[in-house]
Structure 1
Amino acid sequence: MIYIQEAILHILDLNTNEPIYSFAGLDITEKFTIDYIHAMIGKVEDSDNMKEGTLAEGGTIVTMLEHITEDFVGVTRALSDKFFKITKLNPEIPPADLLFTRFTMDDVPCLGLFKLNYSDSLTHYVSNETDTLTNQLIINRAILPSARQAIQEGMVLNLETMQFHVIEKKQMITELAEKKFYFTEMFLEESTKPSLKENITIIKKAVQKTSKAFNDEEFVALAETKRAIVHSMEEESVIDNQVIAEQLFGENYAKKEKFFEEVQELGYVNRAPAEMALAGPKFSKQKLRLNNGIELSIPLDLYQDSDVVEFINNPDGTTSVMIKNIEKIKNLF
């Protein structure tokens, strides 16, 4: 249960050269405002790109947050100023408004910070400059994302434990001449654990490297990997690389050792928290692209059913795919 206590919007449009701070909060009696804030919280909490971290005790942000309850407006202005100083020096970071909200989630006090990047949109305006009423088009360059649109950066912070969930995007940092996750590395000054999506990618890469090292069929290994990941998420709400290694390699200790070396090198977090719902519908099917251009999408629970589909290794080294027992075919045009 989420209860919004207060919210405020600060403008960081770089064209003004200075931030435009609000000296009062948003009107949270408006239903559309509450609905919008709820949507922004969901953008972070329900994303497979969400990463976790903890603000260090005595750090800059933690010190700034000491009086967030008594002086919400002042603290959010100070946070916005720190953010603006970073973006002002790095023109590749898109201009935006910062939306802050203080709320409780299941009775836990939290702070939300969401960067609302601008986009261009056409609108009309009425001109009467020549005593002739004329309807004209004009470009509004400060359109905020709708409740349904994705955002690039956002954070939900537990104000009791200082643990945070964050989504972010790398941007070019002028001084370093490279892209960085500036939101966490420069603004929060903290590191994060890999997201669900990143952990799955790490597992995938480790399996690919292991398969290549032992001349195994990659598509077979990846299909088994997806099944193992789904099983681990459904049964334990984690991605357990020990379980995955056991299902993939059994008693082959050489392959297991190679796999563990790869996941460690790539930065995987063992028993990474994961919710099946966040993995998306793509994890309900095995999708294959054949070198002749044919693409197959097979429900996960049917992939290993030999009465439905069979992969046949031919003497010439090629593979045939046989789809069996089809009663009806429907064109999805």
Structure 2
Amino acid sequence: MIYIKEAILHIFDVNSDEPIFSFAGLDISEKFTMDYIHAMIEKVEDSDNMKKGVLAEGNPMISTFSTLTTNFIETTKALTEKFFSITKLNPEIPPADLLFVYFTMDEVPHLGLFKLNYSNSITHHISYESEQLTNQLVVNQSILPSARQAIQEGMVLNLNVMEYHVIEKKHLIDELAEKVFYFTEMFLEDKPQPSLKENIAIIKKAVQKTSKAFNEEEFQVLADTKDAIVHSMTEENVIDNQMIAETLYGDNYAKKEKFFEEVQEMGYVDRAPAEVAVAGPKYSKQKFRLDNGIEISIPIDLYKDPEVVEFINNPDGTTSVMIKNIEKIKNLF
């Protein structure tokens, strides 16, 4: 159960590269405001891009976060000052407003910090010139994302144990001359674990490298990998690296060793939480694109049923796909 206690919005002034602080909170009695805040929290918590981390005991941000429950407005101003001191020096980082929310989740105090990037939109402007009313088109450069739109950066922080959930994006930092996750590395001064999406991408790359090393047909192994990942998420709510290796390689220890070597080198975190509610729908189908332009989408629970679909290796080295026992075909035009 989420209970919103306080919320405030600090604005980035694109004309002066400085923040415009609010000295009073948002009106959280407004249903629109409450719905918007709840949507922002869900966008972090329900994303497969979400990464988890815990601020270490000596992290300098802990002392600032610890004052939030007793002095919400001043603490958010201090956090805004640090955040904008990073972004204003790096023009590739999009300008944005910062939305801070103090709330409890299951009676545990949390901070929500959401970066609301600006977008452009055209609106009308009414002016009077020489006592004549004139309607003009103008560009509004500070349009915030709607409740339905995705956000690129945001954080939910457990204020009791300093564990955070974050979604973020790499941006070019001029001083470093490279793209980094500035939200965690420079603002939070921490490094979280890979997200579910990143973990799955690491497994995919490791499988591809292992297949290449042993001259295997990649499409088949990747399909089996996807099946194993979904099974692991369904059965245990984690991605079990050992189970995936057993499913793919059985008693072939050379392939297993190569696979484990690759995932470890790329930073995979084994048995990290993987909620099926987040990842399941994206992995409910096996999708193939053939070199002749045909695309096939097969429900994952039917993929291994030989009475439904069969992949046939031909003597000339090509592959045929046979779809079986079809009673009715519907055009999805």
Q: How high is the TM-score relative to the length of structure 2?
A: 0.98
Is the partner of 1:187 in helix, strand or coil? helix
The within-5 A match list for 1:295-310 is 295-310=295-310
> In the alignment, is the contact (CA less than 8 A) between 1:14 and 1:88 conserved in 2?
no
1:208-287 correspondence runs (5 A): 208-279=208-279, 281-287=281-287
**How big is each residue's C-alpha offset from its partner over 1:106-133, in whole Å with a ceiling of 9 and x where there is no partner?**
1111000000011111111211222111
Aligned to 2:35: 35
Deviation (angstroms), 1:280: 5.0
Q: Which secondary structure state, in structure 1, belongs to the residue aligned with residue 268 of structure 2?
A: coil
Matches within 5 A, 1:19-98: 19-98=19-98
Farther-moved stretch of structure 1 (124-133 vs 321-330): 124-133
Q: CA deviation at 1:13?
A: 2.7
Q: Is the 8 A contact 1:49 1:198 kept in 2?
A: yes
Q: What secondary structure, in the 3-state scheme, does the structure 2 residue paired with 1:25 have?
A: coil
Question: Secondary structure of 1:141's match?
Answer: strand
Alignment correspondent of 2:123: 123
- Give the residue type in structure 1 aligned to 2:64: M
Tell me the residue number matched to 1:191.
191
Pairing 1:93-242 to 2, within 5 Å after superposition: 93-242=93-242
Aligned to 1:86, the other structure's residue is in SS state helix
Contact kept? 2:2, 2:104, Cα under 8 Å: yes
Equivalent residue, structure 1, for 2:292: 292
Tell me the CA shift for residue 58 of structure 1: 3.3
CA distance in 1, matches of 2:13, 2:303: 52
Partner letter of residue 196 of structure 1? Answer: L
Structure 1 residue 14: Cα displacement: 3.3
1:230-286 CA-partner distances (Å, limit 9, x unpaired): 000000000010010111111111111111111101110011110112115331100
Say which SS state the counterpart of residue 165 (structure 2) adopts.
strand
Match of 2:15, as an amino acid?
Answer: N
Moved more, 190-199 or 63-72: 63-72
Question: Which range moved further: 290-299 or 51-60?
Answer: 51-60
Structure 2: which 5+ runs fail to align?
A: none
2:230–2:280 CA contact under 8 A, matched in 1: no
Q: Is the partner of 1:3 in helix, strand or coil? A: strand
Residue by residue over 1:205-236, the C-alpha shift from the partner in whole angstroms, topping out at 9 and shown as x without a partner, is 11111111111111110111011000000000
Q: After superposing the two structures, state which structure 1 stretch, 215-224 or 55-64, moved more.
A: 55-64
| Partner-residue secondary structure (3-state), 1:142 | strand
Q: Which moved more, 1:255-264 or 1:7-16?
A: 7-16
Contact 2:210 2:258 survives alignment (8 Å): yes
With normalisation by structure 1, the TM-score equals 0.98
Shift of 1:322: 0.7
Q: Quote the Cα distance in structure 1 between the aligned partners of 2:70 and 2:272.
A: 36
> What is the identity, as a one-letter code, of the residue corresponding to 2:144?
L
Distance 1:183 1:232 in 2: 31
Q: Is 52-61 or 136-145 further displaced after alignment?
A: 52-61
2:325 is aligned with 1:325: yes
Q: Could you tell me how far apart the structure 2 residues matched to 1:163 and 1:34 are?
A: 24
Give me the identity figure in percent.
75
Runs of 5+ consecutive residues of structure 1 not aligned to the other structure: none
Residues 7-39 of structure 1: CA distance to partner in whole angstroms, max 9, x if unpaired? Answer: 000012332232100111111111100100000
Structure 2 distance, partners of 1:26, 1:212, is 56
**What amino acid is aligned across from residue 68 of structure 2 in structure 1?**
I
Further displaced range: 52-61 or 94-103: 52-61
CA distance in 1, matches of 2:324, 2:249: 28
Pairwise mapping of residues 6-21 of structure 1 onto structure 2 (< 5 A)? 6-21=6-21
Amino acid at match of 1:101: V
Partner of 1:314: 314
Match of 1:257, as an amino acid?
A: E
- The 2-side partners of 1:176 and 1:257 are apart by 36
The answer to whether the Cα contact below 8 Å between 2:47 and 2:278 also exists between their aligned partners in 1 is yes
Deviations 1:25-78 (A, max 9, x none): 111111100100000001100000000011122322111122111110000000
- What is the DSSP-based 3-state SS (H/G/I as helix, E as strand, rest coil) of the residue aligned with 1:160? coil
Q: State the distance in 1 between where 2:225 and 2:17 align.
A: 51
1:134 to partner: Cα distance: 1.8
Structure 2 Cα separation of the partners of residues 194 and 282 of structure 1: 18
Q: Secondary structure at the match of 2:18?
A: coil
| CA RMSD after TM alignment | 0.9
Counterpart amino acid of 1:126?
A: I
